[in-house]
Amino acid sequence: MRSSKDFFRPLAVGAPQPVTEIPARPSRAIHFFDPSNEKMAAKIPQMVGTVDVLLGNLEDAVKADNKEAARAGLVRIAKDTDFGPTQLWTRINALDSPWVLDDLTTLVTEIGDKLDVIMVPKVQGAEDIHYIDRILAQLEARAGLDRPILVHAILETARGVANVEEICGASPRMQGLSLGPADLAADRRMKTTRVGGGHPGYLVRQDPDAETPDAPRATFQQDLWHYTIARMVDACAMHGIYPYYGPFGDIADVTACEDQFRNAFLLGCVGTWSLHPKQIEIANRVFAPSVEDIRHAREVVAAMGDGTGAVMLNGKMEDDASLKQCLVMVELAEQLSRIDPNLKAQYDAISTDSEV
């Protein structure tokens, strides 16, 4: 175990100083693209500014024969593009794959100054993060980088879920976690065949009526991912890092996608993945507080004065704890307003409404 005194010392001579806090940067949608797919890659420069994070994916969904082309494509796109306010992330290949060492050495050396976060798939425990932490420090020192690249782990193995707290606390580089429902389902031997979302068979059924026991009974579909997302949110909050929902594979079902994203938002996630351009708009809308929520939150803030005690507002009791929830929403709205002029206009209009 490292001493807490060593935790914020660089792991290689000449590597940048580790960060003591993970900046709260808006990341409603982490948009995946395959840099080896020329049609997709050509769209990336135009997507800058329309999405909070662009992620060049090198792992699953990139054909084995295209791994090197994807890596080279990402280097080219990163060098040729001014990302402005949009973050650039990558998902490297798994730590047991033949590609990961070249992914890390090439990307940090060639485009380390452009990369904000490296997403690491199939993380099993703190040992995986320690490996990445050390090798990144060595490569950053060699490349002369002046800020550390942050690390994001995908929670997609049963062992990873069991070790979720130690993964979050394994390095000052840890930026956040995403749920990986597809690999996690396989690793747990769940009996599903889809990428995220619900399942019609996972339900509870209303009790039979004593008088009419054979009458049809209502069923209520349950959320397969509730337990894992809740664990992930707690582990991230405990370590000051950020939780995200992951992929929703039914691209055509925009309604169920929105529901899954909203459940994650309400439970504490800050964003999600988007696999197709049409999921970006859904994520941007869902992972921002609604105008109604901000209107209410501001009323509570105003009514609570010095922040202590209890008040009645519209028939409901508000106190120190509900104020803190409202402040989470107000802070998020302020962060998003700094990068999203449309949202800023909507939130600003609320103040105008209440002033007239």
Annotated binding site for Mg(2+): 156, 183
SS3 content of the chain, % helix, strand, coil (to 5): 45, 15, 40
Q: Which stretch binds ligand ACO (CB under 6 A): 212-220, 270-278, 281-289, 330-338?
A: 270-278
Contacts of 279 (CB under 8 A, 6+ apart): 29, 248, 251, 254, 257, 272, 273
Min dist CB 36 to ligand O=CC(=O)O, Å, is: 18
| CB distance 31 to 53 below 8 Å | yes
Angstrom distance (rounded) from CA 39 to CA 60: 18
Closest by CA position to 174, among listed 271, 107, 245, 241: 241
Q: Which stretch binds ligand ACO (CB under 6 A): 37-45, 124-132, 168-176, 343-351?
A: 37-45
Exactly one of 73, 198, 246, 289 binds ligand O=CC(=O)O (CB under 6 A); that residue is 246
Which of the residues 173 through 202 are near Mg ion (CB under 5 A)?
A: 180, 183
Nearer to ligand O=CC(=O)O, 73 or 246 (CB): 246
Q: Which does 265 bind (CB under 5 to 8 A by kind): ligand ACO, ligand O=CC(=O)O, Mg ion, none?
A: none
Output the smallest distance, CB 73 to Mg ion, in A: 20
Q: How far is the CB of 224 from ligand O=CC(=O)O (least distance, A)?
A: 12
Query: Which amino acid is residue 294, in one-letter code?
Result: I
Please provide the size of the chain in residues. 356
The CA distance from 267 to 23, in Å, is 21
**Angle, alpha carbons 99-103-112 (nearest 5°):** 175
Q: How far is the CB of 115 from ligand O=CC(=O)O (least distance, A)?
A: 19
205 is an interface residue for ligand ACO by CB under 6 A? no
Cα–Cα dist 346/336, whole Å: 11
**Closest residue to Mg ion, Cβ-based?**
183
Residue 43 contact partner, candidates Mg ion, ligand O=CC(=O)O, ligand ACO, none, CB within 5 to 8 A by sort of partner = ligand ACO
Task: Say how many C-beta atoms besides its own lie within 10 A of residue 94's C-beta.
Answer: 18
Q: Which of 115, 185, 195, 235 binds ligand ACO (CB under 6 A)?
A: 195
Distance CA 210, CA 214 (A): 9
10 Å Cβ neighbour count for 268?
16
Residue 283 binds ligand ACO (CB under 6 A): no
Among 133, 156, 318, 340, binds ligand O=CC(=O)O (CB under 6 A): 156
By CB under 6 A, the count of residues binding ligand O=CC(=O)O is: 11
Q: Which residues make up the interface to ligand ACO (CB under 6 A)?
A: 32-34, 39-40, 43, 57, 60-61, 182, 195, 247, 251, 275-277
